[in-house]
Structure 1
Amino acid sequence: MRIRTAATAAGGTLALLTVLAPAAHADSHKGDTTFTSVTFSKTTVNVGVSAAQSLTVVATAKDGSGISGIYGGKLVSPDARIAFPDSASCTRPSSTTMKCTWKYTLDANDTDDYADLKNSNAGTWHLDAEAAANDHDFYTLDTSKSVKVKRYAKLTATQASPEPVVKGRTLTVTGTLTRANWNTNVYAGYSAQRVALQFKKSGASTYSTVKTVTTDSTGKLKTTVTANSAGTWRWKFAGTSTTSAVTATGDSAALK
């Protein structure tokens, strides 16, 4: 994640005195200035421990007198950390509008330790930007436009044993749920999480949830089921507000 001391805006550069954002407020505006569109290239950015992830935000503002500039263009984390764009460019599609594009890099393993994502940064980030009009009207985005930035989760391949299994006998299914620890740059077991065990009967096209199992203190999953049909077993984690969803590779179990 690139955390900088200045942000590029149309018409100039805004120097910022701190990398901590003030408390978020509702959007504010004056006059007829408005943002007609704000789009994110992703609704959720899942970041692991090594590969940087990119995000592009495009915003268009309009005012009857014309837009003099769109300023800020920074992303603010739930714990008030600021990420400035790696690049910013603005155009004027018409005499009354301005369109700006900001590109960001989100990284938990940046060469600059201070720029690394930390676990406390995970959650809903909001775009902070202000459109200023030639007649001194304005519109400030504070909390209305947001994106999820989550810690990437992994599930080991599902293991169902014994294989093949005698019909009506017990089948043991195991797995492990981990997630990116942005503080240490490793994947660590995700404890106390409810994970669905799903089954797809041989010849079927969809899975159905058989039961829900809670991970232990190291993220491990283990349960038993009765093998009534041949088919494929898999684990599926729905994710949380700070952690991505993930589905494990399934394991087929035949009957004998």
Structure 2
Amino acid sequence: MRLRARIRTGIVTALAAVTLVATPTAHATVGNMRITKVVVNGGKDIVLTTTAKKVTVVATISEDSALTEVEISLENRVGDDVNFSTHGRATCTGTGTVKTCSRTLTLDPAGDLLHNGLAGPRNWKAFVQVYAKDGDFESGFFPSVGVRRATALTVDAGPEPVRKGATLTVNGRLTVANWNTNTWTGLSGQGVQLQYCKYPCTGYTTVKTVTSNATGNLRTTVTAAADGYWRWKYAAPYWTAPSFSAADYVDVR
């Protein structure tokens, strides 16, 4: 009996669709088949903006018989409750005992089940289910990378040019991909580093940390000392992705 109902659509976009997925065991094996490795997105966190993104999951399988079917899914679940799931049948290569199977899946913030509350590393898992010609079978959950909300920064330093020793004002804005509304919105209450690189630029140093306001705006003043580049850096917590602004060159005279 198969442990998991097959869903061959790309993204599950309604709670009703999730009910089509049978509750799998954490790990099930028949015969000598082994799923030895599963890598999601090359091992790097998935950063989503407000549009769909394709993510590849690769499974390495040890099996001495031909594989008849391999299905891969990427899920956010807590116990038996599936918050989000995208599924697909994998394509496999290898004729010996080691097979490599991959599937490119789509994560789309416009989908009904992908929302801001799912951002971060918690509860994301890959599920792999494999059948072989000789009757061997294995299925199980495997750790996944996190899924983060993309961020963006702008910068504007002025006046330009500025007199040496005068006050230089540096503005900017921190925005984040809002999966609930599929828009970019200001991100408030975040510490963002103001960085400076003296011309000719060989490396940035952090001058101060500024907290974004209710609309994500950043504003601070510094003393102009020499020609150089100014930028903002956001280190980001677990649920958002780090980002840098472009560099703004200021001529000091």
Query: Shorter-chain TM-score category?
Result: 0.7 to 0.9
Q: Given the alignment, which residue of 139, 156, 159 partners 2:156?
A: 159
1:55 alignment partner AA: V
Task: Say if 1:96 and 1:140 are closer, same or farther in 2 by CA, change over 3 A.
Answer: same
Q: How far apart, in 2, do the equivalents of 1:143 and 1:60 lie? A: 12
For 1:1-256, what aligned pairs fall within 5 Å after superposition?
6-8=6-8, 18=19, 32-42=32-42, 43-49=44-50, 51-63=51-63, 69-71=69-71, 73-77=72-76, 80-85=82-87, 87-91=88-92, 93-94=94-95, 96-110=97-111, 114=112, 117-124=114-121, 125-131=124-130, 139-144=138-143, 146-156=144-154, 158-256=155-253
SS at match of 2:92: strand
Q: How far apart, in 1, do the equivalents of 2:207 and 2:117 lie? A: 34
1:13 corresponds to: none
SS at match of 1:109: coil
1:223 alignment partner AA: T
Residues 186-195 or 164-173, more deviating? 164-173
1:105 alignment partner AA: T
Q: In 2, are the aligned partners of 1:238 and 1:245 still within 8 Å (CA)?
A: yes
Give per-residue Cα distances to partners, 1:62-114, cap 9 Å, x unaligned: 1456756544x1111266423223x423436235344322121111235xxx3
Give per-residue Cα distances to partners, 1:104-147, cap 9 Å, x unaligned: 1111235xxx35x2111222322012345678765543243x12
Task: Say if 1:93 and 1:216 are closer, same or farther in 2 by CA, change over 3 A.
Answer: same
Q: How far apart, in 2, do the equivalents of 1:140 and 1:180 lie? A: 34
Q: How far apart, in 2, do the equivalents of 1:23 and 1:33 lie? A: 18
TM-score, normalisation: structure 2: 0.78
* Structure 1 spans left out of the alignment, 5+ residues: 9-15
Q: In 2, are the aligned partners of 1:52 and 1:107 still within 8 Å (CA)?
A: yes
Task: Say if 1:45 and 1:232 are closer, same or farther in 2 by CA, change over 3 A.
Answer: same
Shift of 1:235: 0.3
SS at match of 1:120: helix
SS at match of 2:117: helix
Q: How far apart, in 1, do the equivalents of 2:94 and 2:164 lie? A: 68
Task: Say if 1:22 and 1:160 are closer, same or farther in 2 by CA, change over 3 A.
Answer: farther
Aligned length: 235
Q: How far apart, in 1, do the equivalents of 2:150 and 2:134 lie? A: 46
1:12 corresponds to: none
TM-score, normalisation: structure 1: 0.77
Task: Say if 1:23 and 1:165 are closer, same or farther in 2 by CA, change over 3 A.
Answer: farther
CA RMSD of aligned residues (A): 3.0
Q: How far apart, in 2, do the equivalents of 1:195 and 1:238 lie? A: 7
Query: Once the two structures are aligned, what percentage of the paired residues are identical?
Result: 35
Q: How far apart, in 1, do the equivalents of 2:22 and 2:242 lie? A: 29
Give per-residue Cα distances to partners, 1:42-72, cap 9 Å, x unaligned: 42222222x321111121211456756544x
Q: How far apart, in 2, do the equivalents of 1:191 and 1:211 lie? A: 17
SS at match of 1:221: strand
Task: Say if 1:78 and 1:202 are closer, same or farther in 2 by CA, change over 3 A.
Answer: farther
* Structure 2 spans left out of the alignment, 5+ residues: 9-16
Give per-residue Cα distances to partners, 1:159-182, cap 9 Å, x unaligned: 112222222222111111010111
